[in-house]
Amino acid sequence: MTVSEIRGHHPILTPKAMGEVDRAAIQSGIDGYRLMLIAGAAISACVLEHYPEATGAIVLCGPGNNGGDGYVAARGLAEAGMPVRLYSSVDPERLKGDAATARDDWQGPIHSLADLDWRDSEIVIDALFGAGLDRPVEGAVAEAMMTVVSSELPVVAADLPSGVSGRTGEVQGVALSAEHTVTFATYKPGHFLVPGADYCGDVHLIDIGIPQREIDAHDQNLWLNTPEIWSDRIPEPKLSGHKYSKGHLGVFSGAFSHTGAARLAAHSALRAGAGLVTVLAPASAIASNAAHLTAIMLRNVSSDEDLDALLQDQRMNGFVLGPGFGVGEKTCGFARTIISTDRALVLDADGLTSFKDNAEDLFSAIADGAAPVILTPHAGEFSRLFPDLAADTELSKVDRARMAADRSGAVVLYKGADTVIAAPDGRAVINVNAPPWLATAGSGDCLAGIIGALLVQHVPAFEAAAIAAYMHGEAGMELGEGLTADDLADGILSPSVLFE
Ligand SMILES: NC(=O)C1=CN([C@@H]2O[C@H](COP(=O)(O)OP(=O)(O)OC[C@H]3O[C@@H](n4cnc5c(N)ncnc54)[C@H](O)[C@@H]3O)[C@@H](O)[C@H]2O)[C@H](O)CC1
Ligand SMILES: [K+]
């Protein structure tokens, strides 16, 4: 997907909210069939642009307005001279409203999907189900979809690949895999949440004439993570600035043979613009860390007393705790101590797992403290802290991250190919610029370090997590396939360089 090039403010609406926007637009006097004509024309234009050599198309139309888009697209392709065969999954007489109008305006024959024959076609237009998919696809329609899958013909999907839930990105029964998805007015979560994102191919967002005021009125506090969301929060380098004005981050190291993760985080933080970074290591890990650190400082923090002494220095204004640190009560104690101050904390990896059996302790410490806290779980860590949310199959990843942020009082960065960042106040973004090869050992340690660097530069927690996820993705794209976390830590660019 070419999403890393997407710029601008992009609200993401669930299909339900989009339906409300449609209805409000139509009630305000906009002709619904006109919207469908623009939508269908965009689909045929996409086919003609990307498959100019195709000598024949099949168009699969479903029972609702998604099917209506298909009839309009079929007409556009036929008028452009492409032989088109159109199949309906239902008796076409059952269509209503704009979809029935679109059917009436289609001059060609309508075949039953049961008679699907794709052999002289080179492209499939999928207009079976879009926003209205509300149950698993089964029976004859599912069989026809399996036939399309096995044909290996390229698919262009109207709004969403059929079978992909626009709300969650989950596959409902069976789904078509599209090379291009043409969607309307706003993106939907299912375009970016996995596995849906993998079924969408390139997603093309088309303005079909729905007024922005209607989209804004149904704003769901969910956006694509683009620089426009937070560009005014990027720390500006000041000529008068000195290293302490750019913050001082402490990164806790594990014991003697578990020190690499902290150094990856520390290196990434320095690259990401933290003024000073100190690795805080137990006595057993001083020698191994000292052998590898130059620009980064090192301090012995073995005990609770050492931590208390460290916290006397007000200039150390943020911490990363968890990477390689070890799971246990010591970790919980360090986290609670830091949260009880006003220092920022990124709690990652072992820092999260340590609270597996006492997550409520963590959340009440956060509620009582003044510190901005960011939790950075991957799916496994998420299910340890929020087992009920992880197990609830009705929830989307966005729902889960939001409910976790609300419950914990922390900003939650829920990792994955479709990282979701949610704040306790309900704001959420989906990050989509991370290439698959970013999922490499140590990559998360680098991300934790970048977040810490932004926090100590006084970037608010939600924006710090969103900017960091984006920077991490950009570095991954820039370095290319085969990168290691060492390359990544070296390849992080400070935001003022990256976004100049
Ligand atoms: N976004 C816009 O501004 C516009 C969108 N358009 C297109 O309209 C569809 C949404 O149309 P809707 O009629 O609400 O839903 P669908 O066509 O996706 O399907 C509803 C239809 O399907 C039945 N159904 C649902 N799930 C199943 C299933 N698993 N098996 C069988 N049948 C199922 C359901 O009962 C309904 O009958 C949107 O995606 C756009 O493509 C407009 O054209 C332009 C404006
Ligand atoms: K579709």
DSSP conformation letters of 165-218:
-TTT--B-S-----SEEEEESSB-GGGTSTTHHHHH-EEEEE--S--HHHHHHT
The H-or-E segment that residue 57 falls in is strand 57-61
Of all protein residues, the one whose alpha carbon is nearest to atom 24 of ligand 1 is: 133
pLDDT average, residue stretch 328-335:
98
| CA nearest neighbour of 197 among 161, 148, 152 | 161
What is the CA(297)–ligand 2 centre distance, in A?
55
Predicted confidence at residue 240, as pLDDT, reads: 66
Alpha-carbon Rg of the chain, whole angstroms?
26
Ligand 1 within 6 A of CB of 372 = no
Give the whole-angstrom CA distance, residue 79 versus residue 383: 53
Of all protein residues, the one whose alpha carbon is nearest to atom 27 of ligand 1 is: 133
Q: Where are the domains of the chain?
A: 15-219, 228-498
Q: Sign of the C-alpha dihedral, residues 3, 223, 362, 449?
A: positive
Half-sphere exposure of 284 (CA within 13 A, CB side): 8
Predicted confidence at residue 38, as pLDDT, reads: 98
The C-alpha angle with vertex 328 and arms to 323 and 331, in degrees rounded to 5, equals 55
Is it the case that residue 2 has pLDDT exceeding 60? no
Best residue among 34, 159, 203 to mutate for probing ligand 1, ranked by most atoms within 8 Å of CB: 159
Q: Which residue has the tokens 């139509």?
A: 26
Is it the case that residue 4 has pLDDT exceeding 80? no
Q: What is the pLDDT of residues 228-268, one digit of tens each?
A: 999 999 988 776 667 768 999 999 999 999 999 999 999 99
Domain 15-219 matching CATH 3.40.50.300: the answer reads: no
**303 DSSP 8-state letter:** S
Q: What is the pLDDT of residues 95-110, one digit of tens each?
A: 999 999 999 999 999 9
Predicted confidence at residue 422, as pLDDT, reads: 98
Give the whole-angstrom CA distance, residue 313 versus residue 317: 9
pLDDT average, residue stretch 51-73:
97
Give the whole-angstrom CA distance, residue 291 versus residue 298: 11
Predicted confidence at residue 239, as pLDDT, reads: 65
Give the whole-angstrom CA distance, residue 475 versus residue 371: 29
Is it the case that residue 355 has pLDDT exceeding 70? yes
| CA nearest neighbour of 205 among 453, 379, 2 | 2
Q: Which residue has the tokens 């950009």?
A: 474
The alpha helices in 349-460, defined as continuous H runs, are 350-353, 359-368, 379-385, 387-391, 397-408, 443-456
193 CB neighbour count, 10 Å cutoff: 26
Give the whole-angstrom CA distance, residue 425 versus residue 420: 15
Of all protein residues, the one whose alpha carbon is nearest to atom 44 of ligand 1 is: 36
Q: Which of ligand 1's atoms lies nearest the C-alpha of 129?
A: 18
Task: Given the cut 0.95, state whether the ipTM is greater than it.
Answer: yes
For the chain, how long is the longest CA-to-CA vector? 82
Which residues lie below 8 Å from residue 251, measured CB to CB, with a gap of 6+? 262, 265, 266, 269, 277, 278, 279, 280, 319, 320, 323, 449, 452
Q: What is the pLDDT of residues 384-399, one digit of tens each?
A: 999 999 999 999 999 9
Instruction: Tell me which CATH code domain 228-498 carries.
Output: 3.40.1190.20
Q: Which ligand is nearest to the CA of 126?
A: 2
Ligand 1 within 6 A of CB of 132 = yes
Ligand 1 within 6 A of CB of 130 = yes
Q: Which residue has the tokens 């029964």?
A: 173
Q: Are 411 and 419 in contact (CB under 8 A)?
A: no
Ligand 1 within 6 A of CB of 491 = no
Predicted confidence at residue 6, as pLDDT, reads: 83
Best residue among 14, 96, 134, 214 to mutate for probing ligand 1, ranked by most atoms within 8 Å of CB: 134
Q: Which ligand is nearest to the CA of 141?
A: 1
Ligand 1 within 6 A of CB of 133 = yes
What is the CA(298)–ligand 1 centre distance, in A?
59
Please list all protein residues whose beta carbon sits less than 5 angstroms from ligand 2, which is an ion. 126, 130, 157-158, 162
Task: Report the mean per-residue pLDDT for the chain.
Answer: 96
Q: What is the pLDDT of residues 198-228, one digit of tens each?
A: 999 999 999 999 999 999 999 999 999 999 9
376 CB neighbour count, 10 Å cutoff: 30
Ligand 1 within 6 A of CB of 69 = yes
Of all protein residues, the one whose alpha carbon is nearest to atom 31 of ligand 1 is: 137
Q: Are 365 and 389 in contact (CB under 8 A)?
A: no
What is the CA(126)–ligand 1 centre distance, in A?
12
Ligand 1 within 6 A of CB of 377 = no
Ligand 1 within 6 A of CB of 65 = yes
Ligand 1 within 6 A of CB of 135 = yes
What is the CA(175)–ligand 1 centre distance, in A?
15
Phi, psi of 483 (to 5 degrees): -65, 155
C-alpha 192, offset from chain centre:
6
The reply to whether the predicted model has a pTM over 0.90 is yes
| CA nearest neighbour of 470 among 430, 441, 436, 439 | 430
Q: Kind of pairing, strands 222-224 and 202-206?
A: unpaired
| CA nearest neighbour of 12 among 164, 197, 195, 191 | 191
What is the CA(157)–ligand 2 centre distance, in A?
5
